[in-house]
Amino acid sequence: MSTGDDTALAATIAARVEAFVRDIVIPYEHDPRRDAHGPSEELVIELRDKARAAGVMTPHVLDGGGHLSQRGTATVLKKSGLSPLGPLALNTAAPDEGNMYLLGKVGTPEQKAHFLAPMLTGHARSAFFMTEPASDGGAGSDPSMMQTTARQDGNHWVITGRKAFITGAKGAKVGIVMAKTGTADHIAATMFLVDLPHPAIKIERVLDTIDSSMPGGHAVIAIEELRVSADQILGEIHQGFQYAQVRLSPARLSHCMRWHGVATRAQEIAVAYALKRQAFGKALIDHEGVGFMLADNLIDLKQAELMIDWCANVLDTGSLGTSESSMAKVAVSDALFRVADRCVQAMGGIGVTQDTIVEQAFREIRAFRIYDGPTEVHKWSLAKKIKRDAKVPD
């Protein structure tokens, strides 16, 4: 449940989060405990231990199970994103943040005690098994193409299929598996909760992708005769597509919040460099070619912030905010990519090295323009809404 007008509380929490990220997390950015896919479990555990000690673990979820409003969550998550490691340390990262939100909304008390509680304390990571390999003709941006099936067998369900781009599956302890349960005449899906690792859920490979901030990376998964009991159904049977919408709009916006923090930090680094670096008799920032890029960044960051807050306000009314979150996701991801790109350009050679997080910000935000729905899919969805809502004169 949202706490309503929580502006002051959110600001207080955000200040503590920002101090923790700047003082504790940022020094870990060059820690070698990582691979091509993301930080190691050892590094994540160490950072989370420090977050617990500082009292900032899962800061947007309040004592007693309350949840900051979406507007309040935006205030906090933007600060958690000031380092690529911040969301991992503070337990505000995807897919856990969205999975916790969904479990909090539709999970039974027993499911919350077993699956949600260890996630809230940061002792368990999770994975959301929805997207499927394109080579199988499976579900991507169009979930109705889902090929993974769940067939009922008495009081149990047996799930078979393949999934792809499953973030954090390697090392996760909680899984939400989405499978087709409808008929040829009625397309429907159901979500199932699963303890991980599970012998019926096998990682075929972890993909080599442009981004590298998620522990466990993004995996291709084979699900072979996974048997689950009826009490592992999340919510109601056949309601998986509807629950996906409950999860996706806030999760989309949370991505915008976190990457706004990363882009803000990239801007800080680029500005510091442009103030210090001399060329042709003056600081880079005094050359219009650089100064104007940084000014454009300031404009894009503010417009993205306003878009995030507008969409958060819509969600706080209780609306699903499907169209609003699509607009926000397109506008914010494109704006933040422009910011990251200009930061790289303004810093020249240093901008393409790993000496700072600017290069990583560029890669991560580029990937963000695709995951949680590519820009083009959101625009297509919005165009359909325009057509539906159009009033054609007689």
Which pLDDT score is estimated for 171?
A: 96
Distance separating alpha carbons of residues 319 and 337, to the nearest angstrom: 28
Distance separating alpha carbons of residues 388 and 224, to the nearest angstrom: 41
Which pLDDT score is estimated for 1?
A: 43
Question: What is residue 155's DSSP assignment?
Answer: T
Which pLDDT score is estimated for 4?
A: 63
Fold category of 241-389 in CATH: Butyryl-CoA Dehydrogenase, subunit A; domain 3 (1.20.140)
Architecture of domain 7-93: Orthogonal Bundle (1.10)
Distance separating alpha carbons of residues 76 and 4, to the nearest angstrom: 15
Distance separating alpha carbons of residues 122 and 227, to the nearest angstrom: 27
Distance separating alpha carbons of residues 157 and 343, to the nearest angstrom: 51
Give me the tens of pLDDT residue by residue for the chain, a chain 394 residues long. 454 689 999 999 999 999 999 999 999 999 999 999 999 999 999 999 999 999 999 999 998 778 999 999 999 999 999 999 999 999 999 999 999 999 999 999 999 999 999 999 999 999 999 999 999 999 988 888 999 999 999 999 999 999 999 999 999 999 999 999 977 678 899 999 999 999 999 999 999 999 999 999 999 999 999 999 999 999 999 999 999 988 889 999 999 999 999 999 999 999 999 999 999 999 999 999 999 999 999 999 999 999 999 999 999 999 999 999 999 999 999 999 999 999 999 999 999 999 999 999 999 999 999 998 999 999 999 999 999 999 776 5
> In this structure, which amino acid lies at residue 77?
L
Burial class for 270, CB neighbours closer than 10 Å (0-12, 13-18, 19+): buried
Beta bridge partner(s), residue 126: 174
Query: Do residues 140 and 372 lie in contact, with contact meaning Cβ atoms separated by under 8 Å?
Result: no
Which pLDDT score is estimated for 55?
A: 97
Look up the CATH number of domain 127-235. Answer: 2.40.110.10
Which pLDDT score is estimated for 52?
A: 98
Give the distance from CA 25 to its chain's centroid.
19
For the chain, give every domain's residue range.
Answer: 7-93, 127-235, 241-389
Query: What is the pTM for the complete model shown?
Result: 0.95
Domains 7-93 and 241-389 share a fold: no
Give the distance from CA 204 to its chain's centroid.
23
